[in-house]
Amino acid sequence: MPQAPSTRWCPTPEQLMILEEMYKTGVRTPNAPQIQQITAHLSYYGKIEGKNVFYWFQNHKARDRQKLRRRLSRHQQLLQQHQMSLPLPQFHPMEAAASYSSVLHPHQIFHQIISPHFLQQEGTEAMNLISKLEASEGEEDPERPPATCPASYACERVTVSEARPPVPPCCRPTRTLDLFPTRSTGLIREEGSTSKSSSCFTSH
Amino acid sequence: MPQAPSTRWCPTPEQLMILEEMYKTGVRTPNAPQIQQITAHLSYYGKIEGKNVFYWFQNHKARDRQKLRRRLSRHQQLLQQHQMSLPLPQFHPMEAAASYSSVLHPHQIFHQIISPHFLQQEGTEAMNLISKLEASEGEEDPERPPATCPASYACERVTVSEARPPVPPCCRPTRTLDLFPTRSTGLIREEGSTSKSSSCFTSH
DNA sequence: GCAAATTAATGATTTATTCAAG
DNA sequence: CTTGAATAAATCATTAATTTGC
């Protein structure tokens, strides 16, 4: 492949890595001299112009903000939805929230089966942290030798599993799965996409 | 108690299969309700808690990224060797950092070069910069729907594109899983969609 | 073949960052 | 400037694979 004209800058992995490092370090809107300098360094790894550097920071910063905004609005929606009654038969708050907008991919989430217990466990993580901090009494989960639960985020203790016997490996049903019904999908996007978190819905 | 305590969750093949399917489909960071739901379903196949699901996605995602990064840096090295002929006037920290392989220590790297005057950015100058830098063709647009990938890591331009189709029918266990929908959104960013195929399927 | 010894995977924790709100 | 919220990265720890000596 003769390599098309290549109308625009295509950062090499090294360049990208360096730029991201700088971003992490705090660089956001480098001024002309800075850009020059950066460009000079990056040019070692491949063709690049000052404007590329400039645009990169502009875009990166903007997209970062955008990402956050999205997360935020999603989160808010989630909170809001929690207070409303379920609009649709199968549309749960979380789904609605998660699937929302900007990304235009309303997909998400496996709704369907949402069992009743769903709505009651929202207490979660806050509780977790609190109990953790208070070093209260261990409730369920007698045997949790060390650190008890999930550190920061994680999760809520789902008690769902207790509804069913452990199912020793040898007894596992093999045929099984019946899974999720489908439709929705997962959310994708990237890591942050969904509203955040695995926890936290307790409003704050 | 003859039975060893078994300190950590050991996913059953079915659970693993389902989780991987979900991952492939795009699920990356399920939020609490989603985790609950997933947990509820998976609990049918064996003991499992919400935190296990949470951790699984965290780890899987992280290791996927890690894998990609590793591939990338290898690629970089190759590229570098190509350019290695260029004499270096002086080896700057950033270059050194960038050039050395996978696990680089992020912090510290750029501090020296940048910190000093770098952080004193002046917002207003941005516009002028464009002209200065000769930003002739106004391309990039800061706020753009994430149709593509968020500049951030995103494009770590992986050359390995592996947009895989939703779920190849042929690979689905016949009567078992019925997994999900599968609709790929193709959004996945940095991590390729692949999930590792786990080795744990056998035995258990 | 089969365990003890090693090594590879991967579950679980901890630590650092990021942006925004107060 | 500090704190809140939510990770992602780094790291620790255990389990499963495998290799190896008999």
pLDDT digits (tens, 9 = 90+) for B29-44: 998 888 999 999 999 9
- A89 occurs within a structural domain: no
More confident residue, B91 or B177: B177
* CATH code for the domain in which residue B56 is found: 1.10.10.60
More confident residue, A151 or B101: A151
pLDDT score for A65: 75
- A139 occurs within a structural domain: no
Question: What is the Cα gyration radius of chain A?
Answer: 24
Q: Which residues touch strand C (CB under 7 A)?
A: A 23-26, 61, 64-65, 68-69, 72, 144, 146-152; B 8-11, 16, 51-52, 55-56, 58-60, 63, 106-107, 196, 198-200
- A40 occurs within a structural domain: yes
CA distance A76 to A71: 9
Nucleotides, chain C, CB distance < 7 Å: 9-21
Least confident of A43-47, A54-58, B156-160: B156-160
pLDDT score for B77: 62
Task: Please write the tens of the pLDDT for every residue from A57-98.
Answer: 888 887 777 766 665 665 555 555 444 332 222 223 333 233
- B166 occurs within a structural domain: no
Residue A98 token pair: 């998660």
Task: Using CB atoms within 10 Å of the CB of residue B76, give its burial: 0 to 12 exposed, 13 to 18 middle, 19+ buried.
Answer: buried
- A106 occurs within a structural domain: no
CB contact under 8 Å between A32 and B185, yes or no, is no
The pLDDT confidence band at residue B71, using thresholds 50, 70 and 90, is confident
How close is the nearest chain B Cα to the Cα of A89, in Å? Answer: 17
pLDDT score for A69: 67
Query: Quick one: which of A64, A68, A52, A71 has its CA closest to A28?
Result: A64
Spell out which residues of chain A touch residue B49, defining contact as CB-CB under 8 Å. Answer: 155, 157-158, 161
Least confident of A58-72, A109-123, B122-136: A109-123
Residue A38 token pair: 């950066």
Spell out which residues of chain A touch residue B31, defining contact as CB-CB under 8 Å. Answer: 78, 94, 98, 194-201
pLDDT score for B121: 33
Question: How many inter-chain contacts (A to B, CB under 8 Å) are there?
Answer: 349
pLDDT score for B29: 92
Question: Quick one: average pLDDT of B143-165?
Answer: 29
CB contact under 8 Å between A161 and B49, yes or no, is yes
- B27 occurs within a structural domain: yes
Burial of B161-193, coded b for 16+ CB within 10 Å and e otherwise, reads eeeeebbeeeebeeebbbbbbbbbbebbbbbbb
CA distance B74 to B158: 12
- pLDDT value at A8 more than 50: yes
DSSP state of A180: -
Q: Searching chain A, which residue's CA lies closest to the CA of residue B153?
A: A20
- A138 occurs within a structural domain: no
- B55 occurs within a structural domain: yes
Structural domains in chain B (count)? 1
pLDDT score for A61: 81
More confident residue, A29 or B103: A29
Give percent of chain B above pLDDT 90: 25
More confident residue, A121 or A23: A23
Nucleotide nearest to A196 (CA to C1'): D6
pLDDT score for B53: 96
Its domain, for residue A35, covers 8-83
Question: Quick one: average pLDDT of B105-127?
Answer: 33
